[in-house]
Copies of this chain bind each other. A is one copy, B any other.
Amino acid sequence: MPVLFDLPLSELRSYRPEPSGPADLDAFWRATLAESRAAAGAARFEPYDSGLRTVDVYDVTFGGYAGQPVRAWLLLPRHIEGRLPCVVQFVGYNGGRGFPHEYLTWSAAGYAHLVMDNRGQGSDGHTHAVTADPDPSGAPQTPGYLTRGIGSPQTYYYRRLFTDAVRAVDTARTHPRIDPDRIAVLGASQGGGTAIAAAALGDRVAAAVVDVPFLCHVRRAVRITDDHPYRELATWCRTHRHAVERAFATLDYFDGMNLAARATAPALFSVALMDTTCPPSTVFAAYNRWAGAAKDITVWPFDGHEGGAAHQTAEQFRFLAATLA
C-alpha cells in the first residue's frame, strides 16, 4: 500500500525516539571486532575473468567474523591510474555478490569498488552468494536470516554480518590501489543497515551512503509493518512468546538507531515516505541520531522501498565526488 502510512514528514524531521542501546554495547563490539581481527589472516585478491574490458576484477577472500572466510568482488577501473577512492558496498536482504557485471556503477564512476558477499544469503532468485555462515547455534528460527541466533547477541546472525562489514573496510584499506583515507561504505535496505554499522564500528570510514536502511528502530518497525523481512521477527515473537524480550534485547546491540549515534562520517541518507518495508520513521530515527554533522537525507515522497533508485545514484555521484575529492 504505497501511501503515507507513517508519521507526516514534518514530524519525521524531528523524530528522535529514546535510544535503546545497552550499557555494554561498545564493549560488546570492541571485543567482537578484536577477536575477529586477531583470527583473520591477510586477504587474497585473485584475478577473475569477468568478460569485462574496462574493469579489472578480483575474487576476494578475507577473514570476517571469527576469521571465517568471506568472499567479495573488487572491481578496479582498468584505465585509471593511481590510488583510488573506494566504495565498499553491502548487499540487501537475500542477495549476494552475484556476478561482477551486476555491480558496474562505481568502477564506471571512477572508484575502486568492493562488493561484500552476504554470508548464508543470496539464494532468493537474484544476486547469489557463495559465502557460508557457519552458524554457531542452529537454534530454531523463522525462515530467513533476521531471527537466526536471535537468542543472544553472541549468537545473532548480524553480529557476524556486521563484523564481516567492518572487516571488508579493513580489507579495502590493505589494497595497494586503494587510498586508505577515502573509503566510503554504501548500501540499501539491509545493506544500508550494514553500512550504518560499518560506519559506526569501523575505522576511519570517510563517508557513508545509506539508502532506506533496514534494522533501524526495530521495536517500532515490527509493530507498524507486516512486510518482509520485519514480518519474520513478528512471526518469531508470535511463536517464542516467552523469549520476546530476550530477542529485543539482542536486537538493541544491532539497531541502526543505536549505532548511528556512534557514526561521525559525512553521510548521505535516503528515505521513501511510502516505504512499508523500512518505514520512514525508522529511517529518520537513525538519521536524526547520526553523530556526524555533515549529513543530509533525500526524501522521496512517492516511493516505496525502491527509494530513489537510479535518481538517488545520481545524488550519490555528487555526494561522493565532493566528499572523497
Name A's B-contacting residues (CB within 8 A).
1-4, 51-55, 77-80, 94, 96, 98-99, 101-102, 104-105, 107-110, 119-135, 137-145, 147, 222-226, 231, 234-242, 244, 274, 300-303, 306, 308-311, 313-314, 317-318, 321
Number of copies: 6
| Distance, CA A272 to CA B291, complexed state (A) | 38
16 pairs of residues in contact across A and B, judged by CB atoms under 8 Å: A4-B223, A51-B314, A52-B109, A52-B110, A53-B80, A54-B108, A78-B79, A101-B105, A104-B108, A123-B141, A131-B140, A132-B138, A133-B140, A134-B137, A238-B302, A242-B311
| Distance, CA A119 to CA B52, complexed state (A) | 31
| Distance, CA A59 to CA B119, complexed state (A) | 35
A94 vs chain B, min Cβ distance (A):
7
| Distance, CA A104 to CA B104, complexed state (A) | 6
- Option from B98, B110, B144, B244 in Cβ contact (under 8 Å) with A54: B110
Summarize A's interface: helix, strand, loop or mixed. loop
Query: B96, A3: Cβ atoms under 8 Å?
Result: no
For A142, what are the chain B residues with a Cβ–Cβ distance below 8 Å? Answer: 123-124
| Distance, CA A180 to CA B96, complexed state (A) | 39
Chain B: CB-nearest residue to A311: B241
For A120, what are the chain B residues with a Cβ–Cβ distance below 8 Å? Answer: 138-141
6 more contacts with CB within 8 A, not counting A54-B55, A123-B236, A125-B306, are A4-B224, A53-B77, A122-B239, A125-B239, A127-B310, A129-B140
